[in-house]
Structure 1
Amino acid sequence: MNARTAPPLPPSRPSRTAASLWAIVVGGVVIAATVGLRIDWSELGDVPGDVLRYSTLMFADPNWERLPRALFEMWRSISMAWIGAILCVIVSIPLGMLAAGNVGPSWVRLPLRVVFAIIRAVPEVIIALLLLTVTGLTPFTGALALGIAGIGTQGKWVYETIESAQEGASEAVRAAGGSTAEVARWALWPAVAPALMSFALYRFEINIRTSAVLGLVGAGGVGSMLANYTNFREWDTVGMLLIVVVVVTMIMDAISGAIRRRITGGPRITEKRSRHVVGIR
């Protein structure tokens, strides 16, 4: 058999050296983190019993006498979340549009993206603690912290949504002599508005859950009430507060989710209505 008729050699096996090295590095980081925490693994077996004991204290007989106060504080938390979402949307939409690659110039786009990344790196609790020295222990502190913290994520959603929009309408406006502002107003905004409104409502859902956490640092709302009664070990009241937080949050999530589906999917046409429309046509 000569060289021309020799069968081709099988492909060489891919090297797994890089994957093995990465696995060793990740495993070393996990081990180092676990050792650095100094966890007493002997207490791990007591966790189920402690969870059952405190769950019984909180939910066996909740204290419903403070329910009106809890609902009022929950309403304050929802108000904080709503004001924070509005502030976030008002600021993030124009800045996010300028940060999009097909709208803003590079000398504007790149600094804005850096600012968004920095804001995303700072948790809401840290922002609230910084604002406490200026605005004090008020619900406005929580609303402002939620608004500032949401700008980073919301701004990224805005420019990524605009960059993924189809270019047909933008090219048509540019061909007609439109400026960058006119392209953003008449081509990009109608295409991305439903998605941006959906993101704004999703931001509101996130703020509702986060507002309870901000209350733990003194920003007001149901979180402050929860922290106070936890410190006093009044577990029956804590259980009632947790029930209120979970139920109200689930209700608001369901309402917001239904609105978001309506915005993104449009109105639903029932079978009876569709038959009526077909009959008219």
Structure 2
Amino acid sequence: MTLTAPLPPARTAPAVPPKPSKLIPTLTAVVVGAVVLLSAAGLDVTWEDLLTIPGEVWHYGTLMFVDPNWEKLPRALLETWRSISMAWLGAILCVLFSIPLGMLAAHGVGPAWVRIPLRGLFAVIRAVPEVVIALILLTVTGLTPFTGALALGLAGIGTQGKWTYETIESVQEGASDAVRAAGGSTAEVARWALWPAAAPGLMSFALYRFEINIRTSAVLGLIGAGGIGNMLSNYTNFREWDTVGMLLIVVVAATMVMDAISGAIRRRIMEGAGTRDLGRIL
């Protein structure tokens, strides 16, 4: 009598997962498409005029840049310096207020009854453009470059404050625990543990805000806040395109130079002098 091995149990086919539903992505695409179409339909745009834009750009570009008027260059450089000064003063005002307030808005530094209102204030400030803030300040301070600097400083508090508390919260807690274990207060923790670790990043953010202010200061000049933007607006209104071309060249050149200088300083802050020296030795 021969014994046969028992047959292995029959394998059941794996269950096929259900086909994912495409209803939600389809509805989302339909809604987004409808919003785009309604937005385009609500605009008073003659779509045939789009074909003439390249020719118009070439025409006015020729008027501005073929033979720029360099007679106003000294005044343009002076107004550019005023715009840079406006941007720098606005960045300083922004840092003076946003870093202390941003540190209070960070978890582990400020209490909840201080932290939550500050974060709400930063969100409100970020929602208001610099031009709107400048228009409000014009009724109080008048048409002066100080108005532009003040508008840049106030507008930057929202962004710089958010950067500050996010940077503080990303700092490792080892140094904070050590200061607290030594009996340090919250202020001492912020001064001796959080600030040294977050300072390079915050200074880099401050310089980046200065770069943003340089571009925005030209826009604020268009509404009368002074600087190169005010000069650009005046000559554009008078249709002196050769002078407008010269002013645009000065604006672009000055912005690129200041961006390069600020970027080099930011890289130096973030990399540190020791890293560069070590790289040269190696």
* TM-score normalised by length of structure 1: 0.95
Q: Deviations over 1:4-40 (max 9, x none)?
A: 7312212112222222222111111111111111211
Provide the C-alpha distance between the structure 1 equivalents of 2:12 and 2:245, rounded to a whole number of angstroms. Answer: 78
1:9 aligned to 2:15?
yes
Of the candidates 174, 187, 201, which is equivalent to residue 181 of structure 1?
187
Per the alignment, do residues 190 and 5 of structure 1 end up closer, same or farther by CA in structure 2, a change over 3 Å counting?
A: same
**Could you tell me which residue of structure 1 aligns to residue 71 of structure 2?**
65
> Which 4+ residue blocks in structure 1 deviate beyond 6 angstroms?
1-4
Note the alpha carbon deviations across 1:57-84, whole angstroms, 9 max, x for none: 0000000000000000000000000000
- State the Cα deviation string for residues 93-135 of structure 1 (Å, max 9, x = none): 0000011112111111110011000000000000000000000
Q: 1:269 aligns with which of 268, 274, 277?
A: 277
Q: CA deviation at 1:3?
A: 9.3
3-state secondary structure, aligned to 1:217: coil
Letter in 2 for 1:50: E
2:38 is the counterpart of 1:32: yes
Partner residue, 1:114: 120
1:51 and 2:53 matched:
no
Structure having the higher Rg? 2
Q: Name whichever of 159-168 and 221-230 sits farther off.
A: 159-168
Which position in structure 2 is the counterpart of 1:193? 199
- The superposition leaves residues 234-259 of structure 1 with CA deviations (integer Å, 9 ceiling, x where unpaired) of 00000000000000000000000000
Which residue identity lines up with residue 92 of structure 1 in the other structure? S
Alignment partner, residue 245 of structure 2: 239
Q: Which amino acid aligns with 1:274?
A: I
Cα distance, 1:227 vs structure 2: 0.2
The aligned counterpart of 2:3 is: none
Matches within 5 A, 1:208-227: 208-227=214-233
Match of 1:148 among 148, 151, 154: 154
CA distance in 1, matches of 2:145, 2:195: 33
Partner of 1:279: none
Deviating more after overlay: 155-164 vs 22-31: 22-31
Paired-residue identity, %: 73
* Structure 1: gaps (5+ residues): 276-281
2:266 maps to what in 1? Answer: 260
- The yes-or-no answer on 1:159 pairing with 2:165 is yes
Aligned residues, how many? 274
The residue number in structure 2 matching 1:105 is: 111
In structure 2, the CA distance between the partners of 1:13 and 1:241, relative to structure 1 (3 Å rule), is: same
Q: 1:142-194 CA deviation, whole Å, 9 max, x = no partner?
A: 00000000000000000011111111111111111111111100000000000
- Residue in 2 aligned with 1:133? 139
CA distance, structure 2, for counterparts of residue 3 and residue 152 of structure 1: 68
Q: Deviations over 1:28-54 (max 9, x none)?
A: 111111111121111011000000000
The Cα of 1:221 is off from its aligned counterpart by 0.2
RMSD: 1.5
SS of corresponding position for 2:222: helix
**Quick one: which amino acid aligns to residue 281 of structure 2?**
S
Q: For residue 79 of structure 1, what is the aligned residue in structure 2? A: 85
Gaps of 5+ in 2: 1-6
Q: CA deviation at 1:269?
A: 2.2
TM-score (norm 2): 0.94
C-alpha deviation, 1:233, in angstroms: 0.1
Higher alpha-carbon deviation: 262-271 or 50-59 = 262-271
Whole-angstrom distance in 2 between the partners of 1:64 and 1:227:
17
Cα distance in 2 for residues equivalent to 1:140 and 1:202 = 21
1:172 to 2:199 alignment: no
